[in-house]
Amino acid sequence: MQAASLQLLARFKDAPDWVTGIAIALAIVPLSLLYLRGSMRLYKDFPMMALVEDGLDPKESWFQKGPKTIQEGLRRYRGRPFQVMTGTGPKLVLPHRFAEELKTNENLSHNGAFAKDFFVGYPGFGPIADSLIPELIRTKITPALGLITDDLVDETTAAIQDILGENTEWHEVSIKQDVLKLVTRLSSRLSLGLPKCRDDRWLEITKDYTVHLFASARELRQVPSLLRPFVHWFLPESTRLRRDYQDAQTFITPEVELRKVRARKALEAGEKASKTADVIGWMYELATEKGQKVNYVDGLLEIGLASIHTSTEAITSALLSIVAHPEILQPLRDEVISIIGSEGWSRQTLYKMRLMDSFLKENQRCHPPNAISMNRLVTKDIKLSDGSLLKPGTRFIIPNVYTDPEIYANPEEFDPYRFLRKREKPGQTNSWQHVSLSSSHMAFGYGNHACPGRFFASTEIKIAIAYLLLKYDWIPTTGDEQPGTLVFETNTLVRPTAKLMVKRRKEEVALDCYGARQGFEHI
């Protein structure tokens, strides 16, 4: 912890003297106090896991080797709950068998757990706990997916052209950065609709906000808790985050006002407000239905946060897997050629891409961005089936079981057909889709707070991959920047600098779609 504090202090070198003085005083004085305070918060009935054999204390184990800490804990404590020391305090690790009994427990909060890890309450960090958004996704976005599919194809057509272009010679690209740009375009199309969604200023704000929030929260989790209320004011990422938030407010507010005026005028003229087709419109609709005030800036930023980071990781990782397993490329292309070539884009045709669906699910299994799921805060006493008592305030996580040979045959093998075969078994057609939830595949979480955006995510990812495969050839780069991964806490993510070689090819069937949707306007 001392090393982390000193590293942090080094970042204050350009700050005024008085700021540095305060920071140093705050860093040195309470360190011992913090250790005491931290240890008092431990869950006393559960063993603490640390990779002592690797010379790491509990917190270092979590930060540097999260996935290994969890695996080793499961082995060492033979399926009994144990605790780990995260940057924001201890969390229980509950073995996977508890997922079923906890999935619909009402005394669990997802927002509460995330609020603590993402410092909701500090200026600029706010949106992640807005409870209206899951409802909005369930009641407005998912039912409109048939119509949204056209928008996403339209946006992918334009965005791919802008980002990857027509170069038919092999050239190197920063693949994660390019996918991030593409996903930001798609998420922005959902949030703001045409034409605002293509505004460069908004695209920059929403992308930067997502990147800076994850970076700030990650930095702050490494800072001793007593220092955080001061340090967050000076961390470069948090400073940028507050600026992004203000920029978002400046950008969004006039657009919201404009929409409200239009809706009011329509009502005054005795007309119905037009049907809505983006997040601003749906938020307006939901607020009116519920007679509730909504924060549009928070809502749009939350959609960006939930969707941009996750879908970027999913698409980049899928593309890297195709490059690493070239034998799957042609079967995936053939499926798109056959289905889109004969029936065009629609929610139904995307559903028919069963190999793509299975491949994406297998990719989540083999390259999970997170080793755990079901991050929850206990709000009332819960007694587990093994007799353990979880008191209010307890936080827990449940590890994934993707490498368990009793659940997945040959778990080390990357088998894009794995879930396709499972779906062919009687009665199993809907159990193993990309978006299906189960405790043995928790890539979209599990239970009451499982990802409501997964239907949108799966649609957008399939469209993006179809374009990337039919319009481009991909091979590994020969340069220094081999993709590789970054491990932090329990996350294993594609490195932001990952590179691939790409060249334009001629797609076998027409994919493109131009122009806004007909008969479904913005308010």
Distance of CA 364 to the CA centre of its chain: 13
Q: Shortest distance, CB of residue 303 to ligand HEM, whole angstroms?
A: 6
Among 453, 464, 490, 491, binds ligand HEM (CB under 6 A): 453
CB of 104: closest distance to ligand HEM in angstroms? 11
Q: Which of 133, 182, 470, 500 lies at the binding interface for ligand HEM (CB under 6 A)?
A: 133
374 in contact with ligand HEM (CB under 6 A): yes
Kindly state whether residue 373 participates in binding ligand HEM, applying the rule CB under 6 A.
Answer: yes
* Interaction of residue 311 with ligand HEM, rule CB under 6 A: yes
Using CA atoms, how far residue 192 sits from 400, 418, 481, in Å, is: 35, 38, 35
The answer to whether 455 and 142 have CB atoms below 8 angstroms apart is yes
Side-chain-side CA neighbours of residue 321 (13 Å): 24
> Judged by CB under 6 A, does residue 134 bind ligand HEM?
yes
Residue with tokens 């170069």: 167
Choose between 361 and 418: whose C-beta lies nearer to ligand HEM. 361
The number of residues in the chain equals 523
Cα angle value 475/476/478 (rounded, 5°): 125
Binding residues for ligand HEM, how many (CB under 6 A)?
27
Q: Which is nearer to ligand HEM, 125 or 456 (CB)?
A: 456
Local structure of 380: helix, strand or coil: coil
- Give the residues across from 108 on adjacent strands: 378
Q: How far is the CB of 267 from ligand HEM (least distance, A)?
A: 29
Residues 92-111: x where in contact with ligand HEM by CB under 6 A, - otherwise, as a string: ------------------xx
Q: How far is CA 219 from CA 5, 127, 200, 426, 488, in A?
A: 11, 18, 28, 49, 11
Q: Is 91 left (phi over 0), alpha (psi -120 to 50) or beta?
A: beta
Residue 233: count of CB within 10 angstroms of its CB: 13
Angstrom distance (rounded) from CA 355 to CA 417: 7
Place of tokens 């050629």: 337
375 lies in the binding site for ligand HEM (CB under 6 A): yes
**CB nearer ligand HEM, residue 5 or residue 86:** 86
Using CB under 6 A as the binding rule, whether residue 336 contacts ligand HEM is answered as no
Query: Least distance (Å) from ligand HEM to the CB of residue 443?
Result: 5
Is 435 an interacting residue with respect to ligand HEM (CB under 6 A)? no
Our finding on whether 152 is near ligand HEM (CB under 6 A) is: no
- Bridge-based pairing of strands 395-399 and 382-383 is unpaired
Q: What's the closest the beta carbon of residue 445 comes to ligand HEM, in angstroms?
A: 2
Closest approach of Cβ 184 to ligand HEM, in Å? 12
DSSP codes joined into one string, 270-310? TPPPPP--SHHHHHHHHHHHHT----HHHHHHHHHHHHHHH
451 appears as a binding residue in the annotation: yes
Residue type, 424: E
For ligand HEM, which is the closer residue by CB, 26 or 129?
A: 129
Task: Answer yes or no whether residue 314 interacts with ligand HEM by CB under 6 A.
Answer: yes
CB of 99 to ligand HEM, least distance (A): 9
Positions touching ligand HEM (CB under 6 A) are 110-111, 133-134, 137, 303, 306-307, 310-311, 314, 373-375, 443-447, 449-454, 456-457
Residue numbering of the annotated binding site for heme: 451
Residue numbering of the annotated binding site: 451
